[in-house]
Amino acid sequence: MSTFLAKPNEVERNWYVIDAAGKSLGRVAAQAATLLRGKNKATFTPNVDCGDHVIIINCKDAVLTGNKLTQKKWQRHTGYIGHLKETRYDTLMATKPTKAMELAVKGMLPKNTLGRAALLRLRLFEGAEHNHQAQKPAMIED
């Protein structure tokens, strides 16, 4: 018996919804990264993009445990000398909670073309409403 290798044109993509309300930001991100990568499927192949579409709702209600709200910082550089910008996570969660979730999921994906393609299938929403009902996404319960 030979090993099964998925082909890119034979991959079947499903839609999933994850509700982040009251859950840890990192746990939701890890669950989303697994679905985006396709590691939950029996037909997972490491060099083929086998992942599904993931919708995360209620990003503003995700929880950061411990002192992460005040101690964790998001750093980015503008490209100019000395222009390193820092934002604490309490400010980031208050202004752009979807960005905080995106950064968490992005850090758990591979840093190559497969990871970048997987990140395009991630949809983030601050509230409980999303505009992808036509795809009939399955709700992930945990």
Asked whether residue 55 carries a pLDDT value surpassing 90, the answer given is yes
In a domain, 111, yes or no: yes
pLDDT digits (tens, 9 = 90+) for 91-124: 999 999 999 999 999 999 999 999 999 999 999 9
Mean per-residue pLDDT, 128-134: 96
Residues 6+ apart with CB under 8 A from 59: 20, 97, 98, 100, 101, 124, 125, 126
In a domain, 79, yes or no: no
pLDDT band at 140; cut points 50, 70, 90: very high
Give the 3-state secondary structure of 23-57.
Answer: CEHHHHHHHHHHHHHCCCCCCCCCCCCCCCEEEEE
Can you give the residue range of the structural domain that contains 20? 13-62+97-138
Buried b (16+ CB within 10 A) or exposed e, 79-103: eeeeeeeebebeebbeebbeebbbb
Asked whether residue 1 carries a pLDDT value surpassing 80, the answer given is no
Closest by CA to 98, choosing from 120, 74, 119, 127, is 127
What's the pTM value of the predicted model, to 2 decimals?
Answer: 0.94
Q: How many domains does the chain have?
A: 1
In a domain, 92, yes or no: no
The CATH number for 52's domain is 3.90.1180.10
Q: Which residue has the tokens 């919708």?
A: 55
Task: Please give the structure tokens belonging to residue 110.
Answer: 């591979």
In a domain, 44, yes or no: yes
Kindly report each contact of residues 111-114 with a partner whose C-beta sits within 8 Å and lies 24 or more positions away, as own/partner. Answer: 114/37, 114/47, 114/49
Looking at residue 118, what is its pLDDT? 97
Work out the mean pLDDT of the chain and round it to a whole number: 96
Asked whether residue 142 carries a pLDDT value surpassing 80, the answer given is no
In a domain, 91, yes or no: no
pLDDT band at 2; cut points 50, 70, 90: confident
In angstroms, rounded to a whole number, what is the distance separating the alpha carbons of residues 104 and 88? 14
